Structure formats: C-alpha cells, structure tokens
Amino acid sequence: MENEIKWPIQYGGKQLSENEVRNFVEKQKAMLAALEDIRKFTETGELPVVNGKEKTAKDLLVGLDNWDKYCEQEFSNERKKEMQQELNDLRAKVESKLIK
C-alpha cells in the first residue's frame, strides 16, 4: 500500500510513535469538545451533560485554561494574542453567565 504511514513520523522536530499520535489526536478532540461545551453554555446558559453527568462551571473554566496553555505553546506571538483575546472574551461570557 503506497499511502501506508511509516512510524515513527516527524512532527514539530520530534519523532512520534503511533501511540503518541493517537494520544495527540484524542487530546485535540477533547479540547475541541471543551470549546463546543463552552460555546453552548454561553449561548444557552445550560451546563452541558457528558456521559450522563452535568459538567460544572469549573470544568468549563478549566477547559479555557487548557486552551490558554495550548495557545501559549503552539502559536506565534501575533496569533497567540488573537487566540488569548478570544479566550478572554469566552471566559468573560462564561463568568457573566455564572453571576446571573
């Protein structure tokens, strides 16, 4: 098969095993799901339910903290500032919903 992936692969100057890539992808999915939960909360004011358990406001804020750390590591200065402003705006929306 000509499209077969040869492990380990190079990413960001590092060699990653298949397991490391799978973990990376799962982390990305979780981070995107956290953003989706935050978006829904800011629109509806309702805390999301995941696997039958309601998330807490603290869970949403932790998700924003994780994104902030990710942006700090992964983005150039200009993009980092944009992302951090967007995250701060989201944080303000979440906090304003909590106060109501």
As for how many domains the chain has, the answer is: 1
Residue 99 has pLDDT above 80, yes or no: no
Whether residue 95 is contained in a domain is answered as yes
Q: Average pLDDT for residues 24-38, to the nearest whole number?
A: 88
pLDDT at residue number 80: 83
Host domain of residue 23: 9-99
The whole-model pTM stands at 0.69
User: Does 40 fall in a domain?
Assistant: yes
Asked if the model's pLDDT at residue 81 lies above 70, the reply is: yes
Lowest mean per-residue pLDDT among 6-10, 37-41, 58-62, 95-99? 95-99
Are β-strands 9-11 and 53-54 bridged in parallel, bridged antiparallel, or unpaired? unpaired
Q: What is the pLDDT, as a whole number, of residue 100?
A: 61
- 1 in any annotated domain: no
